[in-house]
Each structure stands twice: as C-alpha cells, then as structure tokens.
Chains A and B, each alone.
Chain A
Amino acid sequence: MLGKLDWSAIPFDQPIPLIAGAIVLVAILGVLTWVVVKGHLPYLWSEWITSVDHKRIGVMYILLASVMLLRGGSDAIMMRIQQAVAYQSQGYLPPEHYNQIFSAHGTIMIFFVAMPFVIGLMNLVVPLQLGVRDVAFPTLNSVGFWLTATGALLVNLSLVVGEFARTGWLAFPPLSELSYSPGVGVDYYAWSLQISGVGTLVAGINLVTTVLKLRTKGMNYLRMPMFCWTTLASNLLIVAAFPILTATLAMLLLDRYLGFHFFTNEAGGNIMMFMNLIWAWGHPEVYILVLPAFGIFSEVVSTFSGKALFGYRSMVLATMAICVISFMVWLHHFFTMGAGPDVNAIFGIASMIIAVPTGVKIYNWLFTMYGGRIRFATPMLWAVGFMVTFIVGGLTGVLLAVPPADFMLHNSMFLVAHFHNVIIGGVLFGAFAGFEYWFPKAFGFRLDERWGKLAFWFTFLGFFITFVPLYIAGMLGMTRRMQHYDVAAWRPWMIVAAIGMAVLTIGVICQIVQIVVSIRNREALRDRTGDPWDGRSLEWATSSPPPVFNFAFNPDVRGEDAYWDMKARAQQQSLERDRPDYQDIEMPRNSPTGFVCAFFATIMGFALIWHIWWMVILGGLGAWATFVVFAWRDHDEYVIPAEEVASIDRVNIEERRNLVSMAGAAR
C-alpha cells in the first residue's frame, strides 16, 4: 500500500535533522495559521499563488531562492564546523549524515538558490527592459515556477522522511546505482531535479521567445540592454543543456528502477558516459548562472557611473562567445579520465579561451567606470566586490585548466575554493547586486543603505576569510568531502575557514535586518518617481511597482539606453509631450494551473521515490486532467479599459515630470 515507506523512514535516532525539521514545521504551521487567522489567504491565492504576472512570479522565485539560501547556508555552517573539529576525531556528525549534508548543500545551492534567483531576476526585469506587457507564455511561466518549488519541497522533505543522496551533488555512478545506494536518497535527488528541471526548461523556452519575439517598437537587437542579451544567452544554454540533464537522470533512474545497464559495472554499462553527459550539461550550467550576473553588473556599473556601457558591442560579442564556447569545455571536469594528452590539451585550451571574452567584460566594466561619476551605492559595492573576487576565481580557474596542474589539484580543496570563488563572487554577488538594484522597482521603496553596506562588507570579508584557507589547504593536499582527517597542517586553515563562515553568517544576518528595517521605514524610503537610481533602461520608465500591464502604451525606442535617451529628449523639449492615445489593454487572466500542476507533481514525485505505484497513477492522472481543464477554458484574457489605464498612468507621468524638472534645475 505505501511501497517502501514505513516508520523506519523517520530518523528518530538522529537528533539534528529531526529537530531542524520540527523547527521548520512549527515555523511553517505558524506562518500558515497567521495567514489564515488574519484572513490573508484569499489575497495570497488570488494575487500571488495563481498570478501569471511575470513580476509576481519573479518575486516568488527570489523568495524561494532566499529561503533555500538559508537552508543551504546552514548545511555549509555544519560542514565548516565539522571540518574544524574533526581533526583526529569523528567530529560531531556521523559520516553518513555528513555525506548527505555536502550532497544536499551542493544540490540546493545550485538548483534551488542560484537558479531560481537568476531566473527570478530575469522574470522580473526582462519584460520591463524590453518594454512589453508580459513574457511570451504567462501561464507556462507560473507552471515553471511551481514545478521548481516542488523540487525544493521534495529535497526538504528528505530531511525528515527518509534520507538524501550521499553521493555528492552530481550523483556519480556506480556509487549512485542501486547496488551501492539502495536507499531512497538518490531517488529524492533525481526526482526533485527531474521535476524542477522541467520547470527550468519551461522558463528557458519562455524567456528565449520573449527576448527574440516580444521587443517593443524600435528595440533592435543592438539596442537591447545588456541584461537582456545575457538573459538570451543564458536561456539559450538552458534550452540546449537542460534536456541533457533530463536524459542523464532518466537513464540513471531506469538503471535504478528497472534494472537497465547504462552506467552499471555489469553487462557493459559505461560509467564514463555519465561523466560526459552530466558535465555536457554541468559546464554550460555554470554559464547559465553567471551570464545573467554579468548582465546585472553591466546595468549596475553603467547606471552608477552615469555613463553608457563602454564597448557595448564587444560586450554582446563576448556574451555570445561565452555562450558558444561554454559547450566545448566539459571534458576539463575529468582530465584524469585517461582520454590522452591530445584530448586534454584541446579541452584545456578551450577552457582557457573562455577567459578571453570574460576578460573583455572586466575591462569594459573598468572602462565604463573610468571617467564616470561613480556613486558607491550598495549595488555598486557588490559589483566592485565582484570584480576583485571574480578575477581571483577566474585566474585559479585558468590554473585548473592546465591538465598537468589539474592532475595535482583535482578533487582537492583548491577546486572547492575555486568554484565557490566564481559562484559566490560571481553569481551570488550578482544576485545580491540585482536584488538591491531592482528591489525598489518591485516593491516601490528602496532598501536601507547602511545595513546593505554592512551586509556587503561582512559577506565580502567573510568570503575571503573562508575560502583563501581552502585554497591553501588544497595546495597542502587536502581532498574534498572529508569527514575527518589526521593531518596537523590542515587544521589551522580549517579553523580560520570556520571563523570566516561566522563572518559570512553575520553578513547574511545584516541582509535580513536590512529587509526588516527597510520594510519598517518604507514610507521614508518610498520611491515615487519610479527611477530611484537615475537609470538608463526602460524598466525605470514606469512607476514602482509597475502596474500589472507594465506600460500604459508601448514605448518607442530610438537608441541604446532607451530611458536615458527619453529623459534627455524630454528635457530638450521642455517637458512637452503629446497626451498619449490610451487604448484598452488585454492581459492574461490569473490561473491556478501552475499550482495545481505542481501539487500533482509533488504527489507523483513523492510516490515515485517511495514506489507507491497507485499514487503515481493518481498524480499522473491529476496532472493530465489539469492540462485538459486548462485547454478547455474559454476566457483566458481580461480587458483593462482605456480610462483606467489613463488614470493609472496620469499619476506616474505627474511624478515623473516633477523628477525631470528637478533634475533639470540641478544641472
């Protein structure tokens, strides 16, 4: 009846996950009770859960990423403490538990923090920057988000019901095959990634179509803001790479569930095929994450330098070059496979070539700042901090791309330090910069600068105190994934790293305080102009937060830096502007399709993990029925009448006029 599920699945003998699970459960129940008692449920349902508005979906993505950042972060804290104390002792974590923690940490941070964070920002901003009303497929967008949430839910469920994979974040066979991992851990891993992977693919298709087919009038390719370009590149990579992950995990699951022999030791299975497939997805994945961050830095650096982005066209070229080359380097993840010196040399050189367009970008940002009027607001701090940090990470990456060096350093703490260096210094700093930069656009008030700067400095310093010791420990020969060790030389570095982790944690706490303080002071921090940073692209041309239809009429773009251009022209024409010809706007209706679909996907995923076959069928039928119901609806749009559009827009124009006249007076 319940497949493999019984009481032994609950880890009564392990206090840490159980207590953590209990706390989370109490917190969730508390929030739910509060929501229901206060009567917020109808609002949440109609305005957020069923929303197909790209801005709301973007916010929900970022919320999911933030919550999961705390979860993945607590895993990191546990690991750093374990390695600090586990010198010539077992430490405080049993080995199987430690193995689950590092697997969960990697899986969560990549799939449920970095991915939703950048997809959330892209969702929030790209349609605004393109000057359009929504993404290409709004309901599908909602489906994509909720499927991602399903994946996150399943991973967290593994904390208290059953176990998570102990195989590392990519579940390499044969360790992940049934004979070596008979429990449900790998199944939790694989199904949560399969389900959220579908969500990611859907988001990718949606954003590619949006950028390529839904630009406002006059928005030629070479007038698109840089963030739209990097979004395009990143989502092209999603569309090309995520099916590989889907296929690879499907093969692993077939091996585990039906006794197939893709990656087994017996009957001719080929383990290295898994490595090739998973990294053919995994390497582009790095660029899927970091390219949008590059786009954010481009926007931030040019806005806060008060200059157009230096070398815009070379930036576009660099972005697309990275997009293409990132697919040709995957083999550097296993130089030690034994493919031979020729193959290794080719992939080594290809890996180093990526540093060229990346270098172009760094120089472009520097030249954008050169001679500009730089304002060191919080987003700019993150951007400058990124440039310093990322250069270190990039250089150690080039070092690892030398096959002989890689033979010495692969699977060492040096490698761990390198990829944290690029992912934290690149993606996470970018995500935070974007968060601080676009927060006023999303919510209508700015974030507290003082706490923001504190958060930056603690995170920045904490990052270096944590990861420089790991580089050194790696050079001293410490390998990754160690539960405990007996080498005295490594110990001091592990202790320093743990201290760094504490500093990093203070940075995270500052960020939480920043949000709380800003919400309290929101009236003082209110952004009435819609353009708090004196921005250059179209998202600043509408009010903060934007109305559901984004723009009252389609903006007409005449050059690069669309909004900057408009402001300049408005000043020249002494603020005279024709009364726009408002028209009725058709917007997609809210739909519970995404949520219901994810509900059934959760049931199906859970049932598949525990081999509860009747429930699998139930979940599948439910998902199918949801789609039929969706396909059968007759009214998928509603109309906002022109008068309403006009009255909403009038307020915006009035405040904006004040802004432009004030700016004109200042100059």
Chain B
Amino acid sequence: MTMTATAGHAQADPHHVGLVIEHPGPAPKRIVTAYGFWIFLLSDIVMFSCFFAAYAVLSGQTAGGPRGSEIFEQRNVAIETVCLLLSSFTCGMASIAADVRNRFWFYLGMTVTCLLGLIFLVIEFREFADLVARGYGPSRSAFLTAFFSLVGCHGLHVSAGVLWLLTMMAQVFAKGFRADVLRRMMCFALFWHALDIVWVGVFSVVYLLGSAA
C-alpha cells in the first residue's frame, strides 16, 4: 500500500533492471497504528497457541477425574458461539458508524456488542462455577487445568475487551470522532474480531473434539 511502482530510474540501482519500486517515505499514522496492532495480535495468538498446545498435550490426563465428554454442555456452547459471532457483526456495524461519524448507530452497535459479550461471559462464568462446585476445579486434573486455562484466558480477553469497549464509548462521548479516537476504535475492532477467531479455535478443539471423544 505504501509502495508505488514506477518505471524508469533504473540507473539509480544497478542491480535492478526495468521495474524499480521506489519507497515513498513513512506511512501515514493510521496505517502505522493498525500495522503495529496487527503485530500485537499475532503475538497474542502465539500466546494462545501455547495454551492450545498445552491443552492438546494434557487433554487425556484426567487423573481419574471426568473427561471432556462428561462435562461439556453443547447447548451452552452453542449460545456462547452465537453471542460472540453476532457481537462481531455488531462491532463491525459500530466501526462503520464511527467511520461515517454517526453517533446513534455507533452507540447502538457498541451497546449490543457489549451486551452480547456480557452474556457470553455470564454463561462461561456459570459453567466454571458449576464445575468447581461439583469438585471439577482446575486442580482436579491436568486436563481440567488446561481446560480452565485455555478457556479462561479467552474469557479474560473478552473481559478486557468489554472494559476497552466501554472506554471507547466514553471517549467518543467526551472527545467525539477525533482522529486518535478513531484509530483506537479501529484497534478495538481488530481485537474483538481476533477474539472471535480464537473462539472458533476453542470451540473446535475443546468442545467439538472433546464431546466427540
């Protein structure tokens, strides 16, 4: 995007013949910010993959405790998934509203996103509380350790996302659609969508494969 191809000037660089790509200079701030945030997201996904790997290694180590198929509830997971996927859609709507500077649709989109995120968190929290109450807490077995850590890590990210979301709404309220606020909004949207992608992984690796076993 920051590169433009220009023919000619071939003599400037003796190694190139014909087409020379001239670098036009530093990228605009919006691009730089988004690029940096993408790189952060990649690093976050590397961290998640460690927890995925740990889960893969430990998922059979039940130490006499329950297996995945005995504790997972398909219905809850389905509702959670629907909530999250829908929230990605509403988050996208809020982003578009921010881009066209429409406050009403922005607030509406963000509120719905927030509510869907909260519903997801409540369901997850109830699942965890229920397991702990039945004596299947994370210290019961290495499998449960890995399960609570992986799913809980995603849940923590969603919680942080909800806090960030509320901060963004407050920022738009206090500062309006300023350039730096819009850049942050773009990062938030990237973050929220990335959480969705991670959830698809959690959903497939933990719940689908776990229930089948």
Contacts and interface: CB of A to CB of B under 8 A. Distances in A.
Interface in A544-571: 554, 557-559
Interface in B168-194: 171, 174-175, 180, 184
A129 to B, nearest CB: 14
Interface string B135-151: 00011111101101100
A240 B36 CA distance: 14
Contact of A201 (B26, B43, B145, B167): B43
Interface-centre pick from B25, B42, B47, B51 (highest chain A CB count, 10 A): B25
Interface residues of B, number: 47
Contact of B43 (A209, A217, A243): A243
A220 B23 contact: yes
Given A268-B63, A270-B57, A260 B23 contact: no
Contact of A273 (B2, B47, B54, B167): B54
A365 to B, nearest CB: 21
Interface in B72-89: none
Interface in A205-227: 205-206, 208-209, 212-220, 222-223
B23 A219 contact: yes
Interface string A234-271: 00000111111011100100100011111010111110
B99 interface: no
A631 interface: yes
A621 to B, nearest CB: 12
> Secondary structure of the B side of the interface?
helix
B40 interface: yes
Contacts of A251: 54, 149
Interface in B23-69: 23-27, 31-32, 35-36, 39-40, 42-44, 46-47, 50-51, 53-54, 57-58, 61-63
A636 interface: yes
Nearest to B26: A214
Given A559-B12, A628-B167, A258 B138 contact: yes
A235 to B, nearest CB: 9
A215 B25 contact: yes
A334 interface: no
Contact of A254 (B12, B149, B167): B149
B172 to A, nearest CB: 12
Interface in B97-125: none
A315 to B, nearest CB: 14
B13 interface: yes
Contacts of B171: 631-632
A268 B146 CA distance: 11
B22 interface: yes
A246 B47 contact: yes
Interface footprint category on A:
35 or more
A353 B61 CA distance: 36
Contacts of A268: 58, 61-63, 141-143
Nearest to B139: A259
A201 B39 CA distance: 10
A136 interface: yes
A215 B46 contact: no
A261 B25 contact: no
B50 A243 contact: yes
Contacts of B25: 215-217, 554
Contact of B141 (A215, A218, A220, A261): A261
Contacts of A209: 32, 35-36, 39
B21 interface: yes
A352 to B, nearest CB: 26
A137 interface: yes
A241 B47 CA distance: 9
21 contacts: A136-B35, A214-B26, A217-B24, A223-B13, A241-B46, A242-B43, A243-B43, A244-B47, A244-B50, A251-B149, A254-B145, A261-B138, A261-B139, A262-B142, A266-B63, A267-B142, A268-B63, A268-B143, A269-B142, A631-B171, A632-B171
Q: Shortest 6 CB-CB distances between A and B: which pairs?
A: A268-B61, A268-B142, A247-B50, A243-B47, A259-B139, A217-B25
Given A212-B35, A259-B138, 9 more contacts: A216-B25, A218-B22, A243-B43, A247-B50, A259-B139, A261-B138, A262-B142, A277-B54, A559-B13
